[in-house]
Structure 1
Amino acid sequence: MANDLLSIPCVLMRGGTSKGPFFLASDLPADIAQRDRLLLEVMGSGHPLQIDGIGGGNALTSKVAIIDRSSRDDADVDYLFAQVRVEQQVVDTSPNCGNMLAAVAPYAIERGLVQAQDPQTRVRIFNVNTGKLIVATVETPGGEVVYRGDTRIAGAPGSASPVRLSFLDAAGARTGKLLPSGHAQDTIDGVAVSLIDCAMPMMLVRAEDLGVRGDASPAELNADGVLLARLEAMRIEAGARMGIADAGNKVIPKPVLLSAPQHGGHLQVRYFMPQQCHTALAITGAVGLATAAVTPGTLANTFVGCLGLPGSITLEHPSGALDVSLSRSSDDAPVVASVVRTARRLFEGRVFATSPATPEICSTQARQWTSAA
Structure 2
Amino acid sequence: MAHQPQIKIAATYMRGGTSKGVFFRLQDLPEAAQVPGAARDALLMRVIGSPDPYGKQIDGMGGATSSTSKTVIIAKSSRPDHDVDYLFGQVSIDKAFVDWSGNCGNLSAAVGPFAISAGLVDPSRIPRDGVATVRIWQANIGKTIIGHVPMTNGAVQETGDFELDGVTFPAAEVQLEFMDPAAEEEGAGGSMFPTGNLVDDLEVPGVGTLKATMINAGIPTIFVDAESIGYKGTELQDAINSDEKALAMFETIRAYGALRMGLIRHLDEIATRQHTPKVAFVAKPADYVASSGKRIGAGDVDLLVRAMSMGKLHHAMMGTAAVAIGTAAAISGTLVNLAAGGGAKKSVRFGHPSGTLRVGAEASESGGEWTVTKAIMSRSARVLMEGWVRVPQER
Question: Would you call these one fold, judging by a TM-score over 0.5?
Answer: yes
1:312 corresponding residue in structure 2? 347
1:179 corresponding residue in structure 2? 193
Q: Secondary structure at the match of 2:379?
A: strand
Measured against aligned partners, the alpha-carbon deviations of 1:102-151 in whole angstroms (never above 9, x if no partner) come to 10000000011112213110000110011010100011023211111000
Q: Secondary structure at the match of 1:322?
A: strand
Q: Secondary structure at the match of 1:244?
A: coil
344-353 or 332-341: bigger deviation: 332-341
Q: Which one-letter code corresponds to 2:388 in the other structure?
A: R
- Shift of the 328–301 alpha-carbon distance from structure 1 to 2, 3 Å rule, reads closer
Task: Tell me, yes or no, if the aligned pair for 2:4 and 2:392 is still in contact at 8 Å.
Answer: no
Task: Tell me, yes or no, if the aligned pair for 2:19 and 2:106 is still in contact at 8 Å.
Answer: yes
TM-score by length of 1: 0.91
- Shift of the 183–301 alpha-carbon distance from structure 1 to 2, 3 Å rule, reads same
1:138 corresponding residue in structure 2? 149
Q: CA deviation at 1:306?
A: 4.2
Task: Tell me, yes or no, if the aligned pair for 1:6 and 1:356 is still in contact at 8 Å.
Answer: no
Task: Tell me, yes or no, if the aligned pair for 1:5 and 1:356 is still in contact at 8 Å.
Answer: no
**Per residue, is there more strand in 1 or in 2?**
2
Q: Is 1:43 paired with 2:48?
A: yes
Q: CA deviation at 1:302?
A: 1.6
Measured against aligned partners, the alpha-carbon deviations of 1:69-98 in whole angstroms (never above 9, x if no partner) come to 001112110100110011111100101001
Distance 1:344 1:274 in 2: 24
How is 1:120-269 mapped onto 2 (pairs within 5 angstroms)? 120-174=131-185, 175=188, 176-188=190-202, 189=204, 190-245=209-264, 246-250=269-273, 251-262=275-286, 263-264=298-299, 265-269=301-305
Task: Tell me, yes or no, if the aligned pair for 1:286 and 1:315 is still in contact at 8 Å.
Answer: no
Q: CA deviation at 1:20?
A: 1.0
Distance 1:227 1:58 in 2: 18
Q: CA deviation at 1:59?
A: 1.1
Q: CA deviation at 1:172?
A: 2.6
Q: CA deviation at 1:204?
A: 0.5
Measured against aligned partners, the alpha-carbon deviations of 1:204-238 in whole angstroms (never above 9, x if no partner) come to 01111011221111111112222211211121111
Measured against aligned partners, the alpha-carbon deviations of 1:36-72 in whole angstroms (never above 9, x if no partner) come to 0000111111221111111111111110111010011
174-183 or 86-95: bigger deviation: 174-183
* Matched-pair identity in %: 38
How is 1:294-313 mapped onto 2 (pairs within 5 angstroms)? 294-308=330-344, 311-313=346-348
Q: Which one-letter code corresponds to 1:184 in the other structure?
A: L
Greater RCO (CA < 8 Å, at least 6 residues apart) = 1
- Shift of the 137–307 alpha-carbon distance from structure 1 to 2, 3 Å rule, reads farther
Distance 1:99 1:275 in 2: 18
Gaps of 5+ in 1: 358-373
- Shift of the 328–214 alpha-carbon distance from structure 1 to 2, 3 Å rule, reads closer
Q: Which one-letter code corresponds to 1:68 in the other structure?
A: A
Task: Name the Cα RMSD after superposition.
Answer: 1.8
1:34 corresponding residue in structure 2? 39
Matched residue pairs, number? 355
Q: CA deviation at 1:307?
A: 4.2
Gaps of 5+ in 2: 287-297
- Shift of the 5–150 alpha-carbon distance from structure 1 to 2, 3 Å rule, reads same
Q: CA deviation at 1:304?
A: 2.3
1:334 corresponding residue in structure 2? 372
100-109 or 255-264: bigger deviation: 255-264
TM-score by length of 2: 0.86
Q: CA deviation at 1:30?
A: 2.6
